[in-house]
Amino acid sequence: MADDVLLLGGDLPVRRLGLGTGGLVGPGYWGPRGSRAEALALLLTAVERGVTLIDTADNYGPDLAEELIAEALHPYGERLVIATKGGVVRTGPDRWHAAGRPEQLRAMCEASLRRLRVESIGLYQLHRFDPEVPETEQLGALAQLRAEGKIRHIGLDTVTAGQLRRALEVVPVAAVQNPYNLVDRSSAEVLALCEARGIAFLPYYPLGSGALTRESAAAVTAVAAEHRAGPGQIALAWLLHRSPVLCPTPGTGSLAHLAENLDAATIRLTPQERSVLDALGE
């Protein structure tokens, strides 16, 4: 697409269709998934195919996803932006706990710097606001890390529109990660705020956790047939058409699925097709 590049934070150009790394670790974001060689090959292939935004988190594994990225891709090319997250401690599959005290966030960020083998992280995202710690303290810790050059841009994960507005009074926010896909428009207000403020929106579960609802399946399948594509490709293409700030980063552990996801960027939906797909979440 002609508008497939976004300036993250106003100064980091990234292709809007990126790669998430949750698919490189085991169920519940715990332990490995498949062989290490397969994970490394997938990361290399993604970059060879033109991916310039890789989204990860320190608790994927834990630690494993960041280690795989560094092993496969370091030293990083000039155009590659690694986005990672801190603020959550994982104690088992699908078991996590918010950890947003300033000293915790600093320790997590510095550990990510070591694992990724960088001096500065392009996009560092607060994985969740810790309800036990004042928001301003959590944001202040990230602002201090940014002032020290350890973070280039700050992002937020899973926030309300109110939280985003309050955060913007404290720090510049370059990106937000919230659920958003063909059938889940619960973050529509957050997306509108991101559009108004020029903030990148990285929708998580861009494929609806790998499945489309029964109600949407027929409509998506019909559009897919017109493009000789799969339903997942249509879901990604719709996100790229929906808003210029949307940057989907679907995860996968399969080379074939990676190729299918990235090919979605070439699909041009007609206005009529977009109208049909738009209506699925309304």
Which pLDDT does position 281 carry in this prediction? 82
Using CA atoms, how far apart are residues 128 and 22, in angstroms rounded to an integer? 16
Which pLDDT does position 214 carry in this prediction? 60
SS3 13: strand
Please report the sign of the dihedral spanned by the C-alpha atoms of residue 52, residue 53, residue 54, residue 58.
Answer: positive
Q: How many CA atoms lie within 13 A of 171 on its CB side?
A: 29
Please confirm, yes or no, whether 60 is among the known catalytic residues. Answer: yes
Reported as a single tens digit per residue, the pLDDT across 107-128 is: 999 999 999 999 999 999 999 9
List the beta strands (DSSP E) in the chain: 5-8, 12-15, 19-20, 53-55, 81-86, 88-92, 95-98, 121-126, 151-157, 175-179, 200-204
- Judge whether 213 and 205 are in contact, CB under 8 Å: no
Using CA atoms, how far apart are residues 208 and 183, in angstroms rounded to an integer? 7
Strand partners, 97: 89
- Judge whether 187 and 178 are in contact, CB under 8 Å: yes
SS3 98: strand
Reported as a single tens digit per residue, the pLDDT across 227-240 is: 999 999 999 999 99
In single-letter form, the type of residue at position 45 comes to T
Q: Which of 60, 124, 180, 204 is catalytic?
A: 60
With a threshold of 0.85, does the pTM exceed it?
A: yes
Phi and psi of 146, rounded to 5°? Answer: -65, -40
Which pLDDT does position 2 carry in this prediction? 42
Using CA atoms, how far apart are residues 52 and 238, in angstroms rounded to an integer? 20
In this structure, whether the domain defined by 5-209+243-253 belongs to CATH 3.40.50.450 is answered with no
| Pick from 55, 68, 50, 102: nearest CA to 266 | 50
Q: In the chain, which residues have pLDDT < 50?
A: 1-2
- Retrieve residue 278's tokens: 């738009």
